Structure 1
Amino acid sequence: MSGYTVHTIPGSPFGRAVLIALEEKGAPYRLAAVAPGTLRSPEHTARHPFARVPVLEHDGFRLYETQAILRYLDRVLPVPPLTPADARRAARMDQLMAINDWYLFQGVANVIGFQRVVGPRLLGLTPDETAIAAAMPKAHTVFAELSALLDRQPFFAGEAFTLADVLLAPQLDFLSATPEWAVLTADTPHLCAWLERVRARPSLEATTWERVAARAAAA
């Protein structure tokens, strides 16, 4: 299969998850960078009516929503598999992907990550300490649950790297750049060990913010 194009903002954790999946599959792809201030442009809303990223285009087929894209890629590029064959492990993977979207990102990463990283780095904004403090109770709850679900396993759904790790890795790597990371992981050393383990994968190394930005600039 060929002809993969990923429309995303360099640095987007959701966009990075799609790139990680393509790297894991060894599939060639084209990165189509989207400028942060153009999400509501007619050009982009024609691709994504809700003005978000990423969007995947594949041989005339267009798809948005990160979970849908990841599952599509795992179906059309079945080797190596990123979904467990075991029904319970697959269900745990699905649960963790939902935790990422509804609890880790919403109210945690989209607040702390924006205030500490995106706002200062891209927009020149000063972090809103009140907003960060308000997000911390939910963050502690999310991190405690992620730690409990990971337990002492190598990866979130068991022995194998799955779509749960693909989706969670960019969000947690993003948050690790904030001072809140040390507080949130003080009692979860195995969560930190998991992050170091997945960071060492070629797919993570190839999709850092810096490398994706450089690839976008060279396109």
Structure 2
Amino acid sequence: MSEFVVHSVPGSPFGRSVLIALEEKGARYRLAALAPGDSNTPAHLARHPFGRVPTLDHDGFVLYETQAILRYLDRVCPEPVLTPADLRQAARMDQVMNISDWYLFQGVCSVIAFQRIVGPQLFGTTPDEAVIERAMPQARTVFAELSRLLGDQPFMAGGQLSLADLQVAPQASFLSLTPEWTSLTAAYSNLVAWIERLEARPSFQATTMARLMAGAGAA
């Protein structure tokens, strides 16, 4: 199969989701690394008019939006299957993926991780504790619901790894680098075990920011 090219900033949870999927599929791919700020260049805006990451280029077919990319990869690289055959489990996968986009990232990671990690490291800003505190109620609701949906299953949509795990886990991993992680997960040992189980997978280990920056993430 031809090579997939992923345009993304190393360390982006959204970009990591796509790279994990490619690793799980055993597909041949290349990370075209972008520096912070490159997403607003004319070259990238031609790929993604909204200036976000990642984008996927597959033989000249350019696609953006992480969910669309993940579903495309699961169709064009059919093994191993990352969408449950059971209709209810597939619906749960879809639900969790939307929770990730609309509630885990928007208003939680986009606030807490930005204030704690992105802002200080890239822009030299100081975390705004009031802004972080205002994000915590939604964060608690998200973690409670993800824990409830996971239950005692090994993965978010049941007994097999699915696109839901690939989308949520990089966001959760990024948030785990903040001091808020301890309080958010204190009552949810199943979530902690779930993320540790996923981070032990070769696909996750191959797509850490350190590995990507060292040039070890591309297969």
**Same fold (TM > 0.5):** yes
Give the structure 1 partner of residue 133 of structure 2. 133
CA distance in 2, matches of 1:216, 1:27: 15
Q: Which amino acid aligns with 1:196?
A: E
* 1:72 corresponds to: 72
- Deviation, 1:122, is 2.2
Aligned to 2:198: 198
- The gaps in structure 2 that reach 5 residues or longer are none
Instruction: Tell me, in whole angstroms, the C-alpha distance in 1 between the residues paired with 2:109 and 2:91.
Output: 24
The answer for the alignment partner of 2:46 in structure 1 is: 46
CA distance in 1, matches of 2:205, 2:150: 22
| SS of corresponding position for 2:155 | coil
C-alpha distance 186-217 of structure 1, shift in aligned 2 (>3 A):
closer
Partner of 1:157: 157
- Are 1:32 and 1:216, in contact at CA under 8 Å, matched by a contact in 2? no
SS of the aligned residue for 2:99 comes to helix
Residue-by-residue CA offset, 1:31-77 (whole Å, 9 max, x unaligned): 10111112211111001000000000001100000000000000000
Aligned to 1:100: 100
2:39 partner letter: L
Contact 1:97 1:167 in 2 (8 A): yes
Q: Aligned-pair distance for 1:123?
A: 2.1
Distance 2:26 2:166 in 1: 14
Question: Would you say the 8 A contact 1:54–1:65 is kept in 2?
Answer: yes
User: 1:177 corresponds to which letter in structure 2?
Assistant: L
Q: TM-score, normalised by structure 1?
A: 0.97
Question: What is the CA distance between 1:152 and its match in structure 2?
Answer: 0.7
- 2:187 aligns with 187
Q: Following the alignment from structure 1 to structure 2, what is the Cα–Cα distance between the partners of residues 29 and 98?
A: 26
* Identity fraction in percent: 67
Structure 1 residue 217, shift from structure 2 partner: 11
In structure 1, what residue type is equivalent to 2:121?
R
- SS of 2:119's equivalent in the other structure is helix
Paired amino acid for 1:148: R
Would the alpha carbon gap of residues 194 and 14 (structure 1) be closer, same or farther in structure 2, given more than 3 Å must change? same
8 Å CA contact retained: 2:206, 2:217:
no
- Residues matched between the structures, number: 218
State the AA in 1 paired with 2:113: G
**Contact 2:109–2:175 (CA under 8 A) maintained in structure 1:** yes
- Matched residue SS, 2:56: strand
Alignment of 1:104-119 (within 5 A): 104-119=104-119
Report Cα offsets for 1:64-116 as digits up to 9, x if no partner.
Answer: 00000000000000000000000000000000000000000000001001111
Residue of structure 2 in register with 1:10 after alignment: 10
Distance 1:149 1:210 in 2: 31
User: What's the RMSD between the two structures over aligned residues?
Assistant: 1.3
Q: Which AA in structure 2 matches 1:151? A: G
The letter of the residue matching 2:104 is: L
Does the 8 Å contact 1:20/1:203 carry over to 2? yes
Q: Is the 8 A contact 1:10 1:216 kept in 2?
A: no
Q: 2:17–2:166: 8 Å Cα contact kept in structure 1?
A: yes
Which letter does structure 2 place at the counterpart of 1:35? A
Letter in 1 for 2:76: V
CA distance in 1 between partners of 2:92 and 2:22 (Å): 22
Code of the residue aligned with 1:165 in structure 2: it is: D
DSSP 3-state at the match of 2:49: coil
